[in-house]
């Protein structure tokens, strides 16, 4: 679909023009150990002595009010932390939980596909965080977390099937060039909507976090101190806040406080969700497809992705283009030609996914939040103490949500992130160079 230039391609690997990029391991062998010691220290400190004790340890005011805008994947994980800190946490969402990309994404996770680039640490910490969250929150049952084998393959429409022993039997279309590009140690998946909802439910049920369905209009800053004071919602309601997290995805561009600093644009991408009759035949293999629409293989191939899910669904996505983001996420519709193309892809990959064999459960579109330099923006908004931003996660927002949430909690608690080095992601990088 599109490629991020900062991710290195493995030598001699075919270029996959997809949402995600083929895995890279610049060191030649895969390091599977989860060993960011500073992160573990923080994690276990919280686990061992309890969150409220940790709060005292970190001298967080028990009366603090925290407002998190955007009920999506980014910024979610710290909610557990915050809510038990004695702080009153409010989630503000203009539409519904996981109504946008965080509900309609593929949910594919990779340990080492960002190795060698600026996302390496964020991605590795997040991948392992997903694994531990799934244990803590019964992710396998409640949001379809599982390890998967990941394959790349070429599929040509209307060609007769040649059959390949390198492919699982349900991939019975005209496929060739099959390669394993991720193992069950290095790739996994979640159902993003169920994942995000689960985190919100836990925050609400276990930690008394409140949810307000309303649109954020602006953030009020106390001029003297340059510190955040409140958020103002559409209709005029004011919520006082000692800390605010803006996790607005592609809608970051609609908030002047952010758009005056940097550009976030939306890349609209389509997806369909199928329910095949023969769901039991479909194995946990994620597919990155190079798709030719004609036998002549003329023209640029498409780069759809196919993700079977443990609940029997098969998710297929692709077909992206830059487009103005609709004001209301509920108004986002997929274009019929793009949806029709994804159905053709599904049928060509597997006859179990064709019309008559699979029910179409959803036809949808949503926006990847993209920045000019392809990197997320995570950190305190320059000039506004206590106001944090987390956006621009592009095609890796489901993967990188957990570490993003954890570093935000660190920034609020300690004023500094020890889990991941945030220098490359700081919003300060967009400030004009200072005059000496």
Ligand X SMILES: Cc1cc2nc3c(=O)[nH]c(=O)nc-3n(C[C@H](O)[C@H](O)[C@H](O)COP(=O)(O)OP(=O)(O)OC[C@H]3O[C@@H](n4cnc5c(N)ncnc54)[C@H](O)[C@@H]3O)c2cc1C
By the criterion CB under 6 A, which residues form the site for ligand X? 19, 69-74, 92-95, 99-102, 105-108, 215-216, 247-251, 269, 271, 317, 329, 366, 368-369, 391, 393-399
Q: Which residue is nearest to ligand X (CB)?
A: 397
Closest separation in Å from C-beta 78 to ligand X: 13
**Which structure tokens are listed for 338?**
């793009």
Which of 398/403 has CB closer to ligand X?
A: 398
* Nearest partner of 8 among 20, 24, 19, judged by Cα: 24
Which of 125/247 has CB closer to ligand X?
A: 247
Which of 60/99 has CB closer to ligand X?
A: 99
Distance CA 126, CA 338 (A): 31
Closest separation in Å from C-beta 99 to ligand X: 5
Distance CA 14, CA 31 (A): 23
Distance CA 369, CA 101 (A): 9
Closest separation in Å from C-beta 97 to ligand X: 8
Is residue 187 within 8 A of residue 109, CB to CB? The reply is: yes
Distance CA 332, CA 95 (A): 12
Could you give the 3-state DSSP secondary structure of residue 407? Answer: helix
Which of 45/232 has CB closer to ligand X?
A: 232
Closest separation in Å from C-beta 334 to ligand X: 10
**Parallel, antiparallel or unpaired: strands 285-292 and 305-308:** antiparallel
Which of 107/374 has CB closer to ligand X?
A: 107
Which of 83/196 has CB closer to ligand X?
A: 196
Closest separation in Å from C-beta 113 to ligand X: 10
Q: Let me know how many helices (H) and strands (E) the chain has, helices first.
A: 10, 19
Q: Where are the beta strands (DSSP E) in 277-394?
A: 285-292, 305-308, 314-322, 358-371, 377-380, 387-391
Closest separation in Å from C-beta 155 to ligand X: 19
Closest separation in Å from C-beta 398 to ligand X: 3
Closest separation in Å from C-beta 165 to ligand X: 27
Burial (Cβ within 10 Å: 0-12, 13-18, ≥19) of residue 331: exposed
Closest separation in Å from C-beta 188 to ligand X: 10
* Nearest partner of 268 among 189, 342, 309, 321, judged by Cα: 321
* Nearest partner of 77 among 384, 411, 422, 428, judged by Cα: 411
Which of 55/317 has CB closer to ligand X?
A: 317
Which of 171/390 has CB closer to ligand X?
A: 390
Which of 55/264 has CB closer to ligand X?
A: 264
The pairs formed by 36-43 with CB atoms below 8 angstroms and a separation of 24 or more are 36/121, 36/124, 36/125, 36/419, 38/418, 38/419, 39/125, 39/406, 39/418, 39/419, 39/420, 41/418, 42/406, 42/410, 42/418, 42/419
**Which structure tokens are listed for 37?**
């010691």
Is residue 187 within 8 A of residue 286, CB to CB? The reply is: yes
Closest separation in Å from C-beta 54 to ligand X: 25
Which of 108/265 has CB closer to ligand X?
A: 108
């Amino acid at each position: 679909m599109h490629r991020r230039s900062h991710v290195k391609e493995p030598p001699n690997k075919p270029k996959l023009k997809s949402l995600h990029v083929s895995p890279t391991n610049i060191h030649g062998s895969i390091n599977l150990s989860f060993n960011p010691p500073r992160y573990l220290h923080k994690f276990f400190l919280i686990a061992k002595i309890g969150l409220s004790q940790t709060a005292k340890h970190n001298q967080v005011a028990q009366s603090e009010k925290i407002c998190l805008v955007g009920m999506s994947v980014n910024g979610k994980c710290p909610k557990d932390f915050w809510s038990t800190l004695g702080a009153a946490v409010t989630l503000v969402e203009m539409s519904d939980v996981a109504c946008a990309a965080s509900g309609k994404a593929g949910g594919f996770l990779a340990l080492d596909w960002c190795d060698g680039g600026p996302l390496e640490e964020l991605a590795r910490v997040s991948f392992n965080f997903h694994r531990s969250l799934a244990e803590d929150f019964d992710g396998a049952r409640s949001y379809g977390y599982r390890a998967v084998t990941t394959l790349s393959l070429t599929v040509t429409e209307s060609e007769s099937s040649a059959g390949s022993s390198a492919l699982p039997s349900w991939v019975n279309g005209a496929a060739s060039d099959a390669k394993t590009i991720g193992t069950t140690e290095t790739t996994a998946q979640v159902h993003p909507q169920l994942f995000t909802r689960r985190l919100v439910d836990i925050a609400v049920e276990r930690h008394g976090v409140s949810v307000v369905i309303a649109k954020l209009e602006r953030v009020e800053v106390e001029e003297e101190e340059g510190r955040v004071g409140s958020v103002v919602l559409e209709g005029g309601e004011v919520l006082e806040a000692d800390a605010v997290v803006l996790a607005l995805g592609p809608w970051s561009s609609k908030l002047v406080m952010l758009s005056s600093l940097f550009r976030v644009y939306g890349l609209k991408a389509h997806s369909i969700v199928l329910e095949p009759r023969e769901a039991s035949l479909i194995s946990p293999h994620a597919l990155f497809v190079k798709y030719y629409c004609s036998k002549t293989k003329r023209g640029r191939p498409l780069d759809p992705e196919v993700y079977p899910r443990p609940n029997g669904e098969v998710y297929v996505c692709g077909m992206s283009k830059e487009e103005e983001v609709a004001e209301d996420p509920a108004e986002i519709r997929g274009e019929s030609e793009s949806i029709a193309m994804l159905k053709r892809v599904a049928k060509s990959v597997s006859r179990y996914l064709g019309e008559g064999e699979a029910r179409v459960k959803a036809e949808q579109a949503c926006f990847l939040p993209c920045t000019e330099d392809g990197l997320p923006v995570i950190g305190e908004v320059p000039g506004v103490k206590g106001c944090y931003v987390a956006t621009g996660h592009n095609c890796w927002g489901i993967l990188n949500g957990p570490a993003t949430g954890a570093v935000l909690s660190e920034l609020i608690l300690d004023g500094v992130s020890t889990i991941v080095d945030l220098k490359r992601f700081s919003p300060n990088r967009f400030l004009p160079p200072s005059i000496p």
